[in-house]
Amino acid sequence: MGEHPIVFDAVWKKFRRGERHDSLRDLVPSLVQRLTRRGHADELRGEQEFWALKDVSFTVPRGEALGIIGPNGAGKSTALKLLTRILRPTRGACHVNGRVGALIEVAAGFHPDLTGRENVYLQGAIMGMKQREIAARLDEIVDFSGVAPFIDTPVKRYSSGMQARLGFSIAAHLNPDVLFVDEVLSVGDISFQAKCLERMRQNVRAGVTLVFVSHNLQAVSALCRRALVLGKGQLLFDGPTEEALDIYMAAAQNASARYGTQDPQFRLLSAQLTSGAREDAADVITPHARCRLVCEIECLKPANGFAVGIELERTRDLLYCYGVTTEELGESLWSAAAGERIVVTVDFAAHLARGHYRLNLHVRDPRAGAFLFFAESVANFSVEEPRSYDGVVEIEPRISLRRVEQPYVDLDSVTVA
Amino acid sequence: MTHLTADLREMVEEQIRYRELLYQMTRRDLLLRYKQTVMGFGWAIFMPLINTVVFSVIFTRVAPIDVGMPYPLFAFCGLLAWNFSASSFRFALTSLTSNTNLVTKVYFPREIFPATSVLVSLVDFAVGSTVLVGLMVYYGVRPSASLAALPLVVLVHLMFTMSVCLLLSMANLFYRDVKYLFDVLLTVWMFGTAVLYPIANMGPRMAAVLQWNPLTPIIDGYRAVLIRGTFPEPTLFLTASLTSAALLAISWLVFHRAEFQFAENV
């Protein structure tokens, strides 16, 4: 166990909810109350506590990049604060070995009245750098941040982006053994974000152990091979990033309120996806397979002039892959009376790359420009394929290489005019 | 016991690892003061000097008292030493609560905050001392062998001030009205300490109680080694030294064990 730079062993963390007595004036009455009504006070206290982390365990071996994802309130920040020793676990143990760098609130130590240069020394010291190290890397830090012309200007005159860039640059030159990164990439422009990501990649390649907490799923998958999914303080998944992203997205979609119409005019009765010649429901499909989605919907209120449509989305990131309606396919608009049932049959070819996908079904009134009905995930399926590649569509590529025969060139005989 | 030794080892190790941060934080506060106020370090001289003038008028003209040395020398020495403790206490009180950003977001030993308050005040103390030297020259005070005991007096003074700062910063983090309470207490404390008059002038019964206030033998210690050319009164000074050392050990340990609750309570 002691071998790993990061060990999180059955960690529980409890917080208090609500207002806390933070003055002596409140303390005295509450003490009196507790003495007189002992049982009641304990009961009250139990209600005000909640577990931000429940029995979470993981280890990170040296040189590995671990992503932590999950919805707000899942316990990601708590986990990070435990790792950086700002908090201590209520139960369990949390060990981090080696020099720790944290790209969290990189500008926390900045004082607005001090100049950029003075703040570099201060923030560097806060992050645990020696004055000598900072002095040696000052030019590098300032160059990286891109605020060189303003380095002797008080930080209060900086934009928030400039502050964050300077803060990140200091942290990036820390040379840690273990690096914790929170949502810091959200600041700075695109080119600076790319620079930061590249810097973190370099760190990982150089053997730094990295823990990356982010809502930026693309950045997580670009940086980490392994990821944890946290939800309501519990560890839901620990494994390959791709799978983690799918699990997180699926959970997030279940949790989110369905953004259907306020007052749906149709109701979904059944939906089934089949593939190829098979009659039974399919959830695993091979690329290019012909698929058929059969849905039955019931009209709840009389509807005049509607079109039925489908949407195909990739589950991991809700990438919109395809969408079409009966109107767009040249069909005339339909009408239905209340209580009438309609069977919708959609035939399509799954020219899709490996991954998880979902189909949404909707009924739309194109003249009013309004959705009469919207059903998310009427069918979920995954496309499986033994080869490994990246993307959305299956384009059946073939790549061949051929060497070009080049005439021999004698460099000595080449003269430059 | 193993728990205690582990804590002690951690406390010492952290101070060594983060010693540069202490320096940087002190530098920050001094720089800020220099930038934000016109007088800068001038305050360190100006404040005790004005007070010395005021109290010299009171205690040499209005209600003359005998202090066994020129009164301005007595008062300035007392005020300078008292101000070191008092301003340390005042800075330390809010040192954690005014740095919420750092306390909740970055880890480093929290002792740095109260320690910075003490160091910044120590710089003022050093600056103000130059005026004391000037006054000593003016009144023709010659340094004697007792000057060798000065570092000891400073050390005890530092230990006592630091331990109170540790407790105050922590107390104000958990209970925010400690600040107001302490403001009142500080005024009372000053008049219960031998800053402006010898403690004996308060009557034998009160003096018997107040002499155990560690700051009284410490401040009298400065006067003894610098001006009177004697060594500090042994019983009282030794008691104050031992009290200060014990208080520092206890308050530091308490602080260290409580510091992991700071981020949740600030």
Provide ipTM, 2 decimals.
Answer: 0.81
Residues in A 37-96 with any Cβ partner in B closer than 8 A: 81, 84-88
Q: How far is it, in rounded angstroms, from Cα A264 to Cα A261?
A: 5
Query: In sequence order, which residues have a C-beta less than 8 Å from that of residue B194 and are 6 or more positions away?
Result: B78, B216, B219, B220
Q: How far is it, in rounded angstroms, from Cα A130 to Cα A111?
A: 19
A24 with B23: Cβ contact below 8 A: no
Could you say which of B31, B175, B263 has the minimum Cβ distance to residue A23?
A: B175
Query: In sequence order, which residues have a C-beta less than 8 Å from that of residue A198 and are 6 or more positions away?
Result: none
Residue B35 pLDDT > 80? no
**Confidence band for B201, pLDDT divided at 50, 70 and 90:** confident
Testing the interface with A: which of B16, B21, B256, B260 to mutate, by most A Cβ within 10 A?
B21
- CA B1 to chain CA centroid, nearest Å: 32
Testing the interface with A: which of B7, B24, B259 to mutate, by most A Cβ within 10 A?
B24
**Contact residues on chain A for B177, CB-CB shorter than 8 A:** 23-25
**Contact residues on chain B for A90, CB-CB shorter than 8 A:** none
| Stretch among A288-302, A376-390, B78-92 having the lowest mean pLDDT | A376-390
Q: What is the pLDDT of residue A409?
A: 66
Shortest Cα distance, chain A CAs vs residue B176, angstroms: 5
Residue A303 pLDDT > 70? yes
Q: What is the pLDDT of residue A177?
A: 87
Q: Any chain B CB within 8 A of the CB of A402?
A: no
pLDDT tens track for A104-135? 777 778 888 889 999 999 988 888 888 888 99
Could you say which of B24, B175, B260 has the minimum Cβ distance to residue A22?
A: B175
Token pair, residue A386, equals 């033994």
**Contact residues on chain A for B172, CB-CB shorter than 8 A:** none
Count of residues making up chain B:
266
Write phi, then psi, for B47 (nearest 5 degrees). -60, -55
Q: What is the pLDDT of residue A1?
A: 45
The DSSP secondary-structure symbol of A165 reads: H
Domain ranges (residues) in chain A: 6-14+53-253, 266-383
Strand-pairing partners, residue A312, are A322, A359
Shortest Cα distance, chain B CAs vs residue A133, angstroms: 12
Mutual angle of helices A24-36 and A38-47, in 10-degree steps:
120
Q: What is the pLDDT of residue A414?
A: 62
Q: Any chain B CB within 8 A of the CB of A20?
A: yes
In words, the CATH class of domain A266-383 is: mainly beta
Nearest to A197 by CA among A230, A160, A168: A168
**Contact residues on chain B for A85, CB-CB shorter than 8 A:** 107
Measured between alpha carbons, how far apart are the two ends of chain A, in Å?
68
Q: How far is it, in rounded angstroms, from Cα A164 to Cα B134?
A: 49
Residue B105 pLDDT > 70? yes
Query: In sequence order, which residues have a C-beta less than 8 Å from that of residue B30 and are 6 or more positions away?
Result: B120, B123
A85 with B107: Cβ contact below 8 A: yes
pLDDT tens track for A309-367? 999 998 877 888 999 999 999 999 999 999 999 999 999 999 998 888 999 999 988 88
Token pair, residue A297, equals 């919907």
Testing the interface with B: which of A22, A31, A53, A83 to mutate, by most B Cβ within 10 A?
A22
Q: How far is it, in rounded angstroms, from Cα A165 to Cα A397?
A: 42
Token pair, residue B244, equals 């200060």
Q: Any chain B CB within 8 A of the CB of A178?
A: no
Could you say which of A23, A114, A128 has the minimum Cβ distance to residue B28?
A: A114
Please give the share of chain B, as a percent, with pLDDT higher than 90.
58
Token pair, residue A341, equals 């049932």
A22 with B28: Cβ contact below 8 A: no
Q: Give 3-state DSSP helix, strand, coil % of chain B, rounded to 5.
A: 80, 0, 20
Chain A residue with CA closest to B176: the answer is A23
**Contact residues on chain A for B35, CB-CB shorter than 8 A:** 113-114
Run of H or E including A119: helix A116-126
Could you say which of B101, B107, B178 has the minimum Cβ distance to residue A84?
A: B107
Return the CATH number of A6-14+53-253, one of 3.40.50.2000, 3.40.309.10, 3.40.50.300, 3.40.50.10470: 3.40.50.300
Q: What is the pLDDT of residue A257?
A: 41
Q: Give me the long-range contacts of B134-141 (CB less than 8 A, separation at least 24).
A: B135/B72, B135/B73, B135/B76, B136/B73, B136/B226, B136/B227, B139/B69, B139/B70, B139/B72, B139/B73, B141/B73, B141/B226, B141/B227
pTM of the model: 0.74
B32 with A127: Cβ contact below 8 A: no
Q: Give me the long-range contacts of B179-188 (CB less than 8 A, separation at least 24).
A: B179/B93, B179/B94, B181/A24, B182/B89, B182/B93, B186/B86, B186/B89, B186/B90
Residue A261 pLDDT > 70? no
Residues in A 106-145 with any Cβ partner in B closer than 8 A: 108-109, 111, 113-114, 118, 121-122, 125-128, 130-131
pLDDT tens track for A168-203? 888 888 888 888 888 766 666 778 788 888 888 888
Could you say which of A22, A109, A131 has the minimum Cβ distance to residue B20?
A: A131
- CA B16 to chain CA centroid, nearest Å: 23
B264 with A27: Cβ contact below 8 A: no
**Contact residues on chain A for B18, CB-CB shorter than 8 A:** 128
Residue A21 pLDDT > 70? no
A6-14+53-253 and A266-383 share one CATH topology? Answer: no
Shortest Cα distance, chain B CAs vs residue A71, angstroms: 21
pLDDT tens track for B142-165? 888 999 999 999 999 999 999 999
Q: In 10 A of CB B231, how many CB atoms?
A: 16
* Coil/strand/helix, residue B70: coil
B105 with A104: Cβ contact below 8 A: yes
Chain A residue with CA closest to B112: the answer is A126
Testing the interface with B: which of A87, A99, A132 to mutate, by most B Cβ within 10 A?
A87
